[in-house]
Structure 1
Amino acid sequence: MPPSNRLFDDLARLMTDAAGAAQGVRREAETVVKAQVERLVRDLDIASREELDVLRDLVTNLRTQNEALAARVAALEAKSGTAGAGAAGLSEVV
């Protein structure tokens, strides 16, 4: 029986080594794929999430300012007695 136990031990060791090698190959493949995807995204010049958040905040602030200016123009026109299309045109652009 000792020869068969040694055979099973060698087979188990071989399987363990093969599993370790397979994990190493998997990690290496993941690293290569990740690097390629990052390079592709960088080459496509895609905006990052942070850049989109900054742009969204900027647009929101500009809309608020535009609405405030349109209200001021409307108030000035009402005060001067000239009801022009200027304020209406500004609010329609937004």
Structure 2
Amino acid sequence: MQSENRIFDDFVRLVNGAAGTLAGVGREAQGSARERAREWIGGLDFVSRDEFEAVKAMAAAARDEADALRARLEALEARLGAS
């Protein structure tokens, strides 16, 4: 009976060790894949979220300025047409 429990205990230790090793390999593979993805994406000339938001804000400001200039031009043309 003692020998059966020892064989079972050894088997359980072996399975636990293998599970721990596989978990470590999985974490290492995941980290490596993430690093490769970052390197690959980094070489594609993507812009960061902050850069995108800055350009978006500048475009909105330019649109507002163009609208204001258009309104001034229309007002000047109306005054010239009335004279």
- TM-score, normalising length: structure 2: 0.91
Cα deviations across residues 7-27 of structure 1 (Å, max 9, x unaligned)? 111111111110100010001
- The residue that corresponds to 2:76 in the other structure is 76
Structure 1 unmatched ranges of 5 or more = 83-94
CA distance in 1, matches of 2:2, 2:69: 93
Residue 67 of structure 1 pairs with residue 80 of structure 2: no
Query: What is the CA distance between 1:38 and its match in structure 2?
Result: 0.3
Cα deviations across residues 22-60 of structure 1 (Å, max 9, x unaligned)? 010001001110000000111111112222222211111
Residue 36 of structure 1 pairs with residue 24 of structure 2: no
Query: What is the CA distance between 1:80 and its match in structure 2?
Result: 2.0
- The residue that corresponds to 2:17 in the other structure is 17
Specify the SS of the correspondent of 1:68: helix
Percent of aligned positions with the same letter in both sequences? 38
One-letter code aligned to 1:31: G
Q: Which has the higher contact order (CA 8 A, sep 6+)?
A: 1
- The residue that corresponds to 2:57 in the other structure is 57
CA distance in 2, matches of 1:24, 1:62: 53
RMSD: 1.2
Specify the SS of the correspondent of 2:47: coil
Structure 2 unmatched ranges of 5 or more = none
Query: What is the CA distance between 1:61 and its match in structure 2?
Result: 1.3
One-letter code aligned to 2:79: K
- The residue that corresponds to 1:85 in the other structure is none
CA distance in 2, matches of 1:65, 1:32: 48
- TM-score, normalising length: structure 1: 0.81
